[in-house]
Amino acid sequence: MKIEFKLVRNTVVVKLKGELDMLIAEKLRQEIDSRLEDKRVNNLIINLEKVTFIDSSGLGVIIGRYKKIASRKGRMYIVGASPSVEKILKFSGINKLIPIYKSEQDIINI
């Protein structure tokens, strides 16, 4: 799994590539949490455009980060999920908590 981060104003953008499974979940959680310690950060975008697979550990990381962001009254978005990954997200009910968009540009336009 490849993980890239960028900070855009008060938003951390995480771009992932590969499989989001139990082998990477803890590392990803720690890396996102370390960036969320910045008090200026209120929002989180997770870009899944290049994620080929996600398991329950990956879903757990996403939900845990959602709870962190929600506790500080921020917003979280998921973007770019492939049809197969989006199906897993919807099946798990994550889409009822976290909006899913096709691209980061779609979020900017809302």
To the nearest whole number, what is the mean pLDDT of the chain?
93
Task: Give the model confidence (pLDDT) of 54-93 as tens digits.
Answer: 999 999 999 999 999 999 999 999 999 999 999 999 999 9
| 22 confidence band (pLDDT: 50, 70, 90) | very high
* pLDDT score recorded for residue 104: 83
Instruction: Let me know if 34 is exposed, middle or buried by CB neighbors in 10 A (0-12, 13-18, 19+).
Output: exposed
The whole-angstrom separation of Cα 84 and Cα 54 is 9
* pLDDT score recorded for residue 109: 60
Task: Check whether 107 has a pLDDT greater than 90.
Answer: no
Task: Check whether 110 has a pLDDT greater than 60.
Answer: no
Residue 54 in contact with residue 94, Cβ under 8 Å? no
Task: Check whether 4 has a pLDDT greater than 80.
Answer: yes
What's the distance, Cα to Cα, between the start and end of the chain in Å?
A: 30
Domain regions of the chain by residue span: 2-105
CATH 3.30.750.24: does it fit domain 2-105?
Answer: yes
Q: Which residues pair with 79 in a beta bridge?
A: 47, 101
Buried b / exposed e over 35-45, threshold 16 CB at 10 Å, is ebeeeebbbbb
For 104, how many CA atoms within 13 A lie in the half-sphere containing its CB?
14
